[in-house]
Amino acid sequence: MSFNSINSCLYPLLMSFNCINSFLYLIINPAHLEHLCINLCAETMQHFYNTHIFKSSIESCREEGISCEMEVDYVDNVPCIDLISSLNVLYGSTPENYIQKVKVQHKGNLRLFEPKTNMVRTFGIHHFANRVVYDASNFLDTNKDIISDDLVSVFQKPACNFGFATHLFGSELKALYSQDPVPRGVSFRISPTSHTDLQNGYEPVSTLTQDFHTRLDNLLRTLVHAKPHFIRCIRANAAEKPAFFDRSTVIKQIRALQTDFSLFYQIRYRLLAPFKKLRRTEDKTIEDCKLVLEYFMKKLEELNKASTALIQWALGKRHIFLSEGARQKLEIMRIETRHKAATLIQSVWRGWNLRRKWPNLKRNLELRARSRTVRPRPQPIAGTPPPEVLDRCSHKAIQQTCSRIGLDLERPPPVPPSRSYTITGNQKTRISSKQEL
């Protein structure tokens, strides 16, 4: 075979990628067999993620020429994976016998715990994210995952208009119609697999859990020989509401996934060094990082508050490795520097703004002072007694007074009788009526 033909065969593989949409931990109480399989996949993928990330970090330190003798501490998922993998759900038993067998076989396992519930058919597993209680009442029936041949025969082409279902159960239909009669009482897997042989004509070779383990092992073999890139999807809230961000829910997921944030050192901490001394170019990034670290150490020596044993850093070829103490001190200095810079900027701007408005403000103050001298404010008359406080009476007293003088509060007072005279100035003038005239 020529090199051109080999390259033509490998070219599609080199220019392609595969995407795996993996499950997250399902914390449902009580959970069932399908939830146990999902959590097993989550535990396995988390273990692969931990080993790949931390081992790659140690290898990157070696590539950078930095000796890394410390052991990276992270949660090991292997005990939980071994526990779930050993939970074989076999035929011919009852849920009570299965629970008893699990408790006896894994009595000393720290990942297995006794749930505080009245349900007899339950057991608990301490997963990486949280504790989950599983109900084994339907474990046996779910694990069989079988379908009768009379339902499979419905997917035959002459009787089925849904061609996709016929394609999925193609091997089952071929095995079913190879002999007569149809149907004849055999069972097949609900989830179509490549292995459709039957044991004694009744039971499938693989169960749901066995098939899940096989698929998971094949996936891990593929991932080991690949170059994985992990994308973590974080739920914004537990209620799945749109446009709603729950901080506590996001923090719990980040802590459960052991996700850390990568920082651009030179961009984040360059404000700690003098602006004029920084080159701020891509080819001078290493020099700028060294300059920032030098001023960082000088600042620590001036403060003389932190121990140098807790604040360490190492400069590699492409990365800077910081201890946790150094990272915290850098963050504190960064916040203080930004606060001082913001205070200085605000004070300068406020002074400039006040000086700009000062001529108009001064003119208004002078006009107010002149108006005070021309027209003084009137002063109260000396000797004027303070206003008396009005006497307040209760509503009951008012009703009693009105009833005594013959007044009704709900009706207007009667019109007084007309007078035969009027008062004009200080004189009394008599009014003559028409009869007198």
Residue 331 lies in a domain: yes
Q: Look at the chain and report how many structural domains it folds into.
A: 3
Q: Tell me the C-alpha to C-alpha distance, in Å, between residue 15 and each of 5, 11, 226, 270, 334.
A: 16, 6, 13, 39, 43
Q: Name the band, by pLDDT with cuts 50, 70 and 90, for residue 349.
A: very high
Predicted TM-score (pTM) of this structure: 0.48
**277 with 303, same domain?**
yes
Query: What's the CA gap between 158 and 179, in Å, rounded?
Result: 18
pLDDT tens digits along 159-190: 777 778 777 778 778 888 888 888 877 777 77
Which structural domain, as residue segments, surrounds residue 84?
A: 33-139
Query: Could you tell me if 49 and 260 are in contact, meaning their C-beta atoms sit under 8 angstroms apart?
Result: no
Quick: pLDDT tens for 46-77: 888 888 777 676 777 777 777 666 555 666 77
Rounded to whole angstroms, the Cα distance separating 189 from 195 reads 9
User: Which of 158, 189, 206 represents a domain boundary (last residue)?
Assistant: 206
Neighbours of 185 (CB within 10 A): 10
Determine which helix (DSSP H) or strand (DSSP E) holds 373, and give its type and residue range. helix 324-374
Q: Is the pLDDT of residue 353 over 90?
A: yes
Q: What percent of the chain has pLDDT over 70?
A: 76
User: What would the two tokens of residue 330 be?
Assistant: 């850098």
| Mean pLDDT for the chain overall | 75
- pLDDT of 266 reads 58
Q: Is residue 46 part of a domain?
A: yes
- Helical (H) or strand (E) element with 246: none
Question: E strands, 270-311, where?
Answer: none
Determine contact, residues 252/277, Cβ cutoff 8 Å. Answer: no
Residues 110 and 172 in one domain: no
Question: 313 and 284, same structural domain?
Answer: yes
Token couple for 90: 């076999």
Q: Same structural domain for residues 110 and 186?
A: no
| Domain assignment present for 159 | yes
What is the sign, positive or negative, of the torsion defined by CA atoms of 344, 347, 353, 359?
negative
